[in-house]
Amino acid sequence: MTAAFHANSGALTLQFDSRRGDFHLSVDLELPGQGVTGVVGPSGCGKTSLLRAVAGLDRIEGGRLALGEDVWQSPTHFRPTHKRRLGYVFQEASLFEHLSVRANLEYGWRRTPARERRLSPDTLTQWLNLGPLFSRPVSALSGGERQRVAIGRALATSPDLLLMDEPLAALDPASKQSILPYLETLHDSLSIPVLYVSHAPEEVARLADHLVVMASGRVLASGPLAQILTRPDLPLAQADDAAAVLTGTVEGHDDHYALTRVALAGGALTLTRQPREPGQPVRLRVAARDVSLTLSPSGDTSILNCLPVKVTGLTPHDASRVTVELRCGEQPLLARVTRKSVEELRLAPGVDCYAQIKTAALL
């Protein structure tokens, strides 16, 4: 989908250094001026503190924050929260219970000067499919429906920056799955920076373009999603649920077997039937534990996917397993195999082999 909302904000730069009790927030970042930046890390690492500082809810003396040429905070200047063009979506959808769904949506729009309005309630209604909710009181909405309305209300102010603090954390699995497609629509339709805090790797892999990894109040790494997910020196690649993200294009469908074929720069993958047209982009999350390695492709197997890859590195995971860093075309991939397999296959940087991935394992 072509981006429909352009703010032309420029890069987001932020510098904060603050001590409060035993907690030290120390951040120096330059982030893309559009797209979703995922902010990840363990509980208490400073993710929410970072968002509150960006919003101006916590004033950090000496900090600096700029969106392109628009300086929101410097050592000599502090723009209060209500004058920052931002939307904020919290974990709990704090809607106005006394207002209708439509009135909640129109609240921010009406408070925005007409010359600054770039997103109409009608557009947001279409993106988030809010029309069917208009006849229902807020108290009758499900958790996922409330969060969709909260996101629409945040965007109704036509912000230059959207902050989302674990917006799906309070939802049950079914509600999460129901709202993710709407977040994907926003990803494709907005050309403003979005800071998205989450504990869920699958959310980040599905939505983010850029990734910031935090620990103990500081930034461990910042960069493109695919690179940061697979860096062996970072916690994400060391975790039991380590995964890579591959991007490709829908090549076609096999309706007889309900399968979709996705073309990659380094090969092709088959997965369960997807509701996308040929030529549309798609990203796939591939868990390291779902990748097996072989030195030659085999036809006598139920595994449909066999990608040519090159080993780029090996990192011990525990006493029995090794994380193998791979390159599929120009895209990084991970496999987690036993030390015995590494030795028997004589895997080492530079070795060419094949990555086998079950169709059912691709998300």
Domain limits, the chain: 5-225, 243-361
Q: Which residues contact 228 (CB under 8 A, 6 or more apart)?
A: 211, 213, 221, 222, 234, 236
CATH number of 243-361: 2.40.50.100
The predicted structure's pLDDT at residue 42: 93
Q: How far apart are CA 123 and CA 129, in angstroms?
A: 10
Q: Which CATH architecture has domain 5-225?
A: 3-Layer(aba) Sandwich (3.40)
- The per-residue pLDDT for 9 is 60
Q: What is the pTM of this model?
A: 0.90
Orientation angle between helical segments 143-155 and 173-189, nearest 10 degrees: 20
Residue pair 73/65 in contact by the 8 Å Cβ criterion: yes
DSSP code string of 207-226: H-SEEEEEETTEEEEEEEHH
What is the pLDDT, as a whole number, of residue 4?
45
Question: What pLDDT is recorded for position 304?
Answer: 92
Please list the ranges in the chain whose pLDDT falls under 70. 1-9
pLDDT at res. 296: 93
Residue 335 pairs with which residues in a beta bridge?
324
User: Which amino acid is present at 326?
Assistant: L
Phi, psi of 122 (to 5 degrees): -65, -40
- Give the whole-angstrom CA distance, residue 193 versus residue 190: 8
Q: Select from 48, 45, 78, 43 the least CA-distant residue to 60.
A: 78
Q: Which residues pair with residue 267 across a beta bridge?
A: 264
